[in-house]
Amino acid sequence: MDPVRKHSISAILLTRWYWAVAILLTTLIWVGLSLAIYPVKDPDGSFASRPYGVMTGLENRAVDLLFQLRDARRSDQRTRGLNEPITIIEIDEASIKTSNVRLQKWPRDWYARLIDRASMSGASVIGVDTFLSEAGGTSAEDKAADQVLAKSIADAGNVVIAMKTAAGGFDEIKPLPMFADTAYAVGFVDLPLDSDGFVRSIQLFQSGGGNETQFSFATRVAEGYLAANTKAGTQPKYLKPATKQTLELGGRAIQLRNDLNLQLDFRGRSPAFKLISAADILFNPQAQIPSDLFRDRIVLIGAANIDAPDLFPTPFYEPIALPRLLDRSLPVTPKRTPGVEVQAAGVATLLFGNSPIRPRYVWQVFLVLGGLMLVAVTVFCLRVLWGMLSVLLIAAFTLILASWMFNDHGVILPLITSWLGMAILTPAGLGLRFARERLIRTETEAERAQVMDIFSRFVSRDVANTIWERRGQESLVGENRTVTIVFTDIRDFTTLSESEPSEKVVKWLNDYFGRMNAIVERHGGHINKYIGDGLMIVFGAPMDRGDKNEARAAVDCSLAMLREVERMNENWKGTGRPIIKIGCGIHSGLATCGVVGAERRLEYTVIGDTVNLAARLESTTKELNVPILISEQTTSLIGDTFATKSLGEVKVKGKTLNTAVYTVEDRKRATEAEAPASLT
């Protein structure tokens, strides 16, 4: 099989294997990522730890990024909480300092005063986010304060108080009956923490012993608000199951996560809702409190001082660099969110927000596949630089798409998983491309070396290199260019060799041709044809150093060959080899150069009248008895580099007009040592 065909078949096989491996690599990464986001059950059968597989932690960080991007790009979203009917009475640092009493020692009648103020101002529901699981103290004054609080809770009739479920090795914390019995409802305030300690969701209900179901504090507050705003005589719209992962509250469908928790729709950085310090109500009679701050609103009472036990990191806790680039006014200091404000976010999500929800698992898998396919096309098809730029654009587009879906449709796309796939596929794909290109380069170089080794035996190595580098170009098929052609022939070689065995003649010729070929290559030409004992030598094709340089090189080469023949004759004396003489005919002109032949047998050749005239000049050297004849065209190109002598005009076979011819007389100015310099 010839090397070119072998190379073509090998290239086809390598390309097929390359695409097979590329598809396999992309598929493996996709399958790996698909398994990585598959929900993982905990030993208790729930999905509490990893609702979105091993990627849960990273995808949670993506949620933080989406929240902060929304905050940076959609400033209108920052005021959502302020426009919703939720007011928080904060027991903040100002309240602690003004009262000069630690939060744990606050008298219960102070809480009663806060409830009374909210109730008298027309609050729809009041939530007290503090544990009332034990008496306020042992003194008569403390017991009286407990009674005042119990009465305020009973009089308001719409107070939800807090409890804690048994979890994490801690016992259940329930409010005292004196408070629980008079309250509207009791709800647990436990907040599920993600693996990094952040709060991003709330639990709406828990199954207790038997058929008992416990509901969360936020759920009970939301139900109380709906009950207060339900027309008399109609059934309050309490929370009830609709499907396995969907609940219904007030006619709204509430989508839950795989762990059956509610993804919180945070309004923004704390404070995100209307709030008032407890100090303004308790200790500042001159405080201007708007009359509508509590009317027909949800009022939550809870601690927000710096040493409160329930300060939590939320998606807005740690500032992220990218949102800061979009809005330089965003804060840079981490800030935890009070538990009471997290509860407010839960209530707002239940009643007014769009709880962000992830698509079904199968859709997430196909979304990841779509991103991988785009990256695969760019990595495996485009140039490396364009491929890298395209990958960055795809990653940016993925972020924009995820942000848009999150902001406008409440859908959380698998952003980090998609990015991770891109981060794995890009270097892996580039590595595969590099390996393929190395294989192709190695194979091409090996094939080239093999072809060049064979081809350079028929033409000069320079011609072979040029033909290889310009393979497939139209210029190799045929082009017109100015060349200088040299024809040489051994005088009367047929007569000299007819009495000798053919093997001897071949040996003589090989010695002669070897010496001539070395001289031709040294002067930048190439032997295009061996014509018996004659040579056709081409200067100026396929490589071209300029018409004048090529003509001078041709004359230099001819003179060098004549001198080499003289040395050969000296070396052959006494060996039985004949004394030989050669003639050289040189002509410069336009010729057609290119590869010609049949499909299975090609040849680089030069054809045209220039070639014919050079051949005729060589045969005319015998008639004029000179070793070199050059045409008028060649003489004009070499200028005064050589001493030339006009021999007049001769009638050349095949020409209707006489041809002016010259010979080169001065050989001293064209020594072999000078020849290479004359070509530069």
pLDDT at 410 over 70: yes
Q: Phi and psi for 602 in degrees, rounded to 5?
A: -115, 160
The mean pLDDT value of the chain amounts to: 85
Q: Point out the least confidently predicted range of 83-92, 277-286, 411-420, 598-607.
A: 598-607
Cis peptide preceding 578, ω within 30 of 0: no
**CA distances for 610 relative to 549, 588, 595, 630, 631, angstroms:** 18, 7, 18, 12, 10
Closest C-alpha to 486, from 440, 412, 538: 538
Encode pLDDT of 318-374 as tens digits: 889 898 888 888 888 888 999 999 999 999 999 987 788 999 999 999 999 999 999
Give 342-398 as a DSSP string.
HHHHHHHHHHTS---BPPPHHHHHHHHHHHHHHHHHHHHHS-HHHHHHHHHHHHHHH
Q: State yes or no: pLDDT of 1 exceeds 50.
A: no
Which DSSP letter does residue 641 get? S
Strand ranges for 125-279 from DSSP E? 125-131, 159-163, 185-188, 201-203, 205-207, 213-215, 240-243, 246-249, 252-255, 261-263, 274-277
Give every CB contact of residue 411 below 8 A, 6+ residues apart in sequence.
Answer: 356, 357, 358, 359, 405
Question: What is the average per-residue pLDDT within 198-227?
Answer: 87
Helices (H), 410-501: 415-455, 461-469, 493-497
Q: 3-state DSSP call for residue 605?
A: strand
Cα-based angle 116, 161, 105 (whole degrees, multiple of 5): 75
At residue 96, the pLDDT reads: 92
Choice among 100-109, 448-457, 630-639 with the minimum mean pLDDT: 448-457
SS3 call for 411: strand
Residue 674: the pLDDT is: 41
Residue 597: which pLDDT band, with cuts at 50, 70 and 90? Answer: confident
pLDDT digits (tens, 9 = 90+) for 9-68: 555 656 788 888 889 999 999 999 999 999 888 887 778 788 888 999 999 999 999 999
Residue 335 tokens read as: 């800030």
| Residue 343 CB burial class (10 angstroms; 0-12, 13-18, ≥19) | buried
Q: What is the pLDDT of residue 200?
A: 94
Cis before 676 (ω within 30): no
pLDDT tens profile 132-182: 999 988 888 989 999 999 999 999 999 999 999 987 778 889 999 999 999
Q: Report the range of poorest mean pLDDT among 5-19, 183-197, 211-225, 563-577.
A: 5-19
Phi/psi region, residue 540 (left: phi>0; alpha: psi -120 to 50; beta: rest), is: left
pLDDT at res. 16: 80
Report helix, strand or coil for 204: coil
Assigned CATH topology for domain 461-678: Alpha-Beta Plaits (3.30.70)
d(CA 539, CA 480): 14
Tell me the mean pLDDT in the region 618-622. 90
| Res. 603: pLDDT tops 80 | no
- The residues near 86 (Cβ < 8 Å, ≥ 6 apart) are 273, 274, 297, 298, 300, 344, 347, 348
Sheet holding 246-249, edge to edge: 240-243, 246-249, 252-255
Question: Can you give the pLDDT at residue 242?
Answer: 62
Q: Is the predicted pLDDT of residue 672 greater than 50, yes or no?
A: no
Region 263-288 average pLDDT: 91
Of the chain, the end-to-end C-alpha distance in Å amounts to 41
Distance separating alpha carbons of residues 282 and 101, to the nearest angstrom = 13
Residue with tokens 């192709």, as numbered in its chain: 440
pLDDT at position 448 is 65
- Whether residue 370 contacts residue 33, with contact meaning beta carbons closer than 8 Å, is answered with no
Structure tokens at 181: 């019995």
- The better pLDDT of the pair 655, 433 is held by 433
What pLDDT, on a 0 to 100 scale, did the predictor assign at position 46? Answer: 77
On whether the CB atoms of residues 293 and 276 are closer than 8 A, the answer is: yes
Domain boundaries, the chain: 3-44+358-442, 78-310+340-351, 461-678
Phi, psi of 120 (to 5 degrees): -65, -25
669 pLDDT band, cuts 50/70/90, is very low
Q: Which pLDDT score, from 0 to 100, does residue 3 have?
A: 47
